[in-house]
């Protein structure tokens, strides 16, 4: 049975992401009360540090300070710090009933401090700064309120670009609590009509859980455990870890347990992970949890809660979650241990990085508790049999320490890996394949595609001679786990071709020699249209992607909006086209400079 002397419950001296250092003299093996003392000291230090950053400080507002950005009880389809592709979700997603155009309201008095219009990301978004030190963000909008729309259009015609990042003067566009500021939509990287809503601290732009302001929604359902994953390694930082999954069941007692009743067994250094999901009363969408606790033999060793997130920390979801599982199966497995290069300050308790280790065979009772923002809670209870570590395995791959920069070379390829590029030490396979692609260019294998990358890695190719028509036209292609290509733009300097990458795996070079396509729509040469008609034209590029486009009407810049998901350029009637003949000229350019043009003359009635 459990013996505290066998279980290494201590604060690892290398844990310094919050500048917390506890000497091992504070730990007395076999005296559980001393562990409790350490936990209390650590918790106090962590809370003080977070309060210094202003992340857990008392809020300078009350729930009555705000109203909801939408009418009625909210249907929340995405929660704060939900695990997403390469990022924590930095707000909440609110469904709009599958339709666009629903009114969006200012949650409090303030002024419009930023209007951003972009092809990807947030699409059409508005930022409102409030006098209490917070900024609210409303994204994926279809349109803005007329006063805001007018200011935006003036800026777009001034800079002659549909995409703008516009910051009006603080007194130019004041708003009142409850004022309509925009209308719900599906712009940017949205996959269906909804409002992405954020709360930020104005000074730092750190994110705050929007549910803290008291938004109306219904949630009486407890989160669900789907699977337990046990990671084991002979290394104290769980490098080269292997894992085993356990199916779970909800018992009559209301707690979750191992489905077949077996004891969970692992050797060496062990970390836990759980596949979880949560549902709210009005939504069938799978949400994520708000906090998680792990206790070993009644001692709290891990506690994480998502009330806030520093502005630069969104990508750290790749280290908190099981990156492989999410990228291949879209399953959210929360790790209950911390990778070395993961400086999240959401940990309220973290002992020995959350890693369990025993010098002798020990059986330890484990409880994992998960809860949502309404504090609906579920528990998983099981026994973990810990065995001592076995022999350490070795391999022939290049070992990359995350604390150092690294230089790899295999002509004609050079790779420069900066310090902190990875979340832990990794072993990277680096080779060129003998097989060439159809352009007789090499395939590069750099590491495992399921290893997350935090900082950009520089990859350089050097070729003494290439066909003249390829000059400036090469792109770097990365193949994901579904063999789907993603292109990286190259910087060209004489014989050198550089790319900044945030992926590992298989790469190759490819010349993009084809110009973008301009086709379809209703803008036919010599056609007749009403001045009220929405103008449409389609554009596409089959490799490097579209860098920019422009339109002129009668030799003057003319605004066309772009919805990349439909490959559509469009212009909704707003009184800028007078009856009569007008000549339009379009130009579309891809990422390597290939250009296409299209002209047409249209009679408007």
- How many Cβ atoms are within 10 Å of 95's Cβ, its own excluded? 21
Question: What pLDDT sits at residue 448?
Answer: 92
Question: What pLDDT sits at residue 59?
Answer: 53
Write down the residue that tokens 């857990």 correspond to: 56
**Nearest of 208, 500, 200, 451 to residue 341 by alpha carbon:** 451
What would the two tokens of residue 385 be? 């049999």
Mean pLDDT score of the chain, rounded to an integer?
A: 88
The 3-state DSSP class for residue 319 equals helix
pLDDT reading at 314 higher than 50? yes
Beta strand 291-296 pairing with 362-371: antiparallel
pLDDT reading at 354 higher than 90? yes
Give the DSSP letter of residue 203. Answer: T
pLDDT reading at 101 higher than 80? yes
Mean pLDDT of 319-348: 94
Dihedral of CA atoms 224, 230, 231, 234 in degrees, nearest 10, equals 160
Question: What pLDDT sits at residue 217?
Answer: 95
Question: Would you say 127 and 166 are in contact if contact means Cβ atoms under 8 Å apart?
Answer: no
CA distances from 338 to 344, 420, 493 (A): 9, 15, 41
For residue range 7-48, list pLDDT tens digits in order.
443 333 333 333 322 222 222 223 333 444 444 444 444 444
Mean pLDDT of 333-362: 93
Question: What pLDDT sits at residue 390?
Answer: 67
593-599 own/partner pairs: CB under 8 Å, 24+ apart: 593/472, 593/473, 594/473, 594/512, 594/513, 594/514, 594/515, 594/516, 594/544, 595/515, 595/516, 596/515, 596/516, 596/517, 596/518, 597/518, 598/518, 598/537, 599/525
Which of 18-22, 307-311, 316-320, 527-531 is predicted with the least confidence, judged by mean pLDDT? 18-22
Q: What percent of the chain has pLDDT over 90?
A: 78
Question: What pLDDT sits at residue 79?
Answer: 96
Question: What pLDDT sits at residue 235?
Answer: 74
Which band of pLDDT confidence, cut at 50, 70 and 90, is reported for residue 61? low
φ, ψ dihedrals at 135, nearest 5°? -125, 135
Query: Residue 349, by phi and psi: left (phi above 0), alpha (psi -120 to 50) or beta?
Result: beta
Q: What's the burial of 5, exposed, middle or buried (CB within 10 Å: 0-12/13-18/19+)?
A: middle
Task: Specify which of 50-64, 354-368, 536-550 reaches the highest per-range mean pLDDT.
Answer: 536-550
Question: What pLDDT sits at residue 389?
Answer: 78
Question: What pLDDT sits at residue 482?
Answer: 79
Question: What pLDDT sits at residue 158?
Answer: 96
pLDDT reading at 60 higher than 90? no
Mean pLDDT of 334-354: 95
Question: Would you say 242 and 233 are in contact if contact means Cβ atoms under 8 Å apart?
Answer: yes
Question: What pLDDT sits at residue 360?
Answer: 84
For residue range 377-436, list pLDDT tens digits in order.
999 999 999 988 765 544 557 889 999 999 999 999 999 999 999 999 999 999 999 888
pLDDT reading at 52 higher than 60? no
Query: How many residues does the structure list for the chain?
Result: 605
Which band of pLDDT confidence, cut at 50, 70 and 90, is reported for residue 358? confident
Q: What is the 3-state secondary structure (H, E, C) of 460-517?
A: EEECCCCCHHHCCCEEEEEECCCCCEEEEECEEECCEEEEEECCCEEEEEEECCCCCE
For residue range 259-279, list pLDDT tens digits in order.
999 889 999 999 999 999 999
Question: Would you say 402 and 422 are in contact if contact means Cβ atoms under 8 Å apart?
Answer: yes
pLDDT reading at 62 higher than 80? no
Which band of pLDDT confidence, cut at 50, 70 and 90, is reported for residue 56? very low
Mean pLDDT of 77-87: 95
Which band of pLDDT confidence, cut at 50, 70 and 90, is reported for residue 325? very high
For residue range 138-172, list pLDDT tens digits in order.
999 999 999 999 999 999 999 999 999 999 999 89
Mean pLDDT of 498-505: 96
* Domain architecture of the chain: domains with CATH: 63-213 (2.70.70.10), 219-387 (2.70.50), 398-511 (2.60.220.30), 517-604 (2.60.40.1220)
Contacts of 409 (CB under 8 A, 6+ apart): 415
Question: What pLDDT sits at residue 494?
Answer: 84
Integer Cα distance of 335 and 83 in angstroms: 12
Question: What pLDDT sits at residue 237?
Answer: 67
**Nearest of 581, 590, 586 to residue 599 by alpha carbon:** 586
């Amino acid at each position: 049975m459990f013996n505290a002397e066998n279980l290494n419950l201590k604060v690892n001296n290398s844990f310094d992401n919050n500048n917390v250092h506890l000497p091992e003299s504070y730990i007395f093996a076999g005296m559980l009360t001393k562990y409790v003392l350490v936990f209390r000291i650590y918790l106090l230090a962590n809370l003080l540090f977070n309060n210094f950053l202003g992340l857990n400080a008392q809020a300078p507002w009350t729930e009555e300070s705000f109203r909801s950005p939408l009418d009625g009880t909210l249907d929340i389809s995405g929660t704060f710090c939900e695990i997403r592709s390469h990022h924590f979700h930095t707000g909440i997603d609110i469904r709009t009933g599958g339709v666009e155009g629903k009114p969006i309201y200012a949650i409090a008095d303030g002024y419009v401090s930023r209007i951003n219009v972009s092809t990807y990301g947030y699409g059409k978004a508005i930022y409102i700064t409030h006098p209490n030190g917070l900024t609210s963000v409303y994204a994926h909008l279809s349109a803005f309120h007329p006063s805001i729309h007018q200011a935006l259009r003036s800026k777009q015609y001034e800079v002659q670009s549909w995409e703008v990042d516009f910051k009006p003067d603080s007194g130019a566009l004041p708003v009142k609590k409850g004022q309509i500021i925009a209308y719900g939509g599906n712009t940017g990287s949205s996959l269906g009509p909804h409002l992405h809503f954020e709360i930020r601290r104005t000074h730092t732009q750190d994110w705050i859980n929007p549910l803290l302001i008291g938004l109306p929604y219904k949630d009486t359902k407890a989160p669900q455990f789907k699977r337990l994953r046990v990671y084991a390694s002979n290394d104290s930082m769980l490098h080269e870890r292997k894992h085993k999954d356990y199916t779970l069941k909800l018992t009559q007692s209301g707690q979750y347990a191992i489905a077949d009743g077996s004891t969970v067994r692992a050797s060496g250094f062990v970390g836990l992970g759980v596949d979880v999901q949560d549902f709210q009363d009005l939504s069938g969408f799978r949400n994520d949890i708000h906090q998680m606790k792990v206790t070993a033999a009644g001692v709290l060793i891990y506690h994480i809660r998502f009330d806030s997130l520093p502005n630069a920390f969104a990508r750290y979801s790749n280290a908190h979650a099981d990156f492989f599982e999410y990228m291949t199966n879209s399953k959210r497995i929360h790790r209950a241990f911390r990778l070395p290069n993961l400086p999240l300050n959401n940990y309220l308790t973290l002992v020995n990085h959350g890693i369990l280790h025993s010098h002798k065979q020990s059986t330890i009772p484990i409880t994992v508790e998960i809860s949502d923002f309404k504090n609906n809670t579920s528990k998983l209870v099981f026994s973990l049999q810990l065995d001592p570590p076995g022999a350490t395995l070795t391999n022939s791959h290049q070992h990359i320490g995350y604390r150092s920069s690294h230089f790899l070379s295999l002509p004609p390829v050079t790779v420069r890996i900066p310090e902190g590029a990875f979340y832990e030490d990794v072993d990277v396979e680096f080779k060129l394949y003998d097989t060439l692609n159809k352009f007789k260019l090499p395939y590069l294998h750099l590491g495992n595609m399921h290893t997350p990358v935090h900082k950009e890695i520089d990859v350089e190719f050097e070729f003494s001679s290439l066909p003249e028509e390829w000059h400036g036209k090469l792109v770097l292609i990365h193949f994901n786990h579904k063999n789907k290509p993603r292109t990286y733009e190259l910087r060209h300097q004489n014989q050198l071709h550089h790319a900044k990458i945030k992926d590992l795996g298989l790469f190759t070079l490819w010349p993009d020699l084809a110009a973008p396509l301009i086709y379809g729509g209703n803008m036919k040469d010599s056609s007749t249209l009403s001045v009220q008609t929405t103008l449409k034209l389609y554009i596409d590029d089959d490799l490097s992607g579209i860098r920019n486009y422009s339109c002129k009407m009668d030799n003057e810049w003319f605004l066309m909006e772009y919805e990349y998901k439909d490959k559509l350029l469009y212009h909704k009637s707003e009184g800028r086209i007078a009856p009569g003949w007008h000549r339009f000229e379009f130009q579309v350019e891809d990422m390597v400079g290939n250009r296409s043009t299209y002209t047409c003359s249209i009679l408007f009635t």
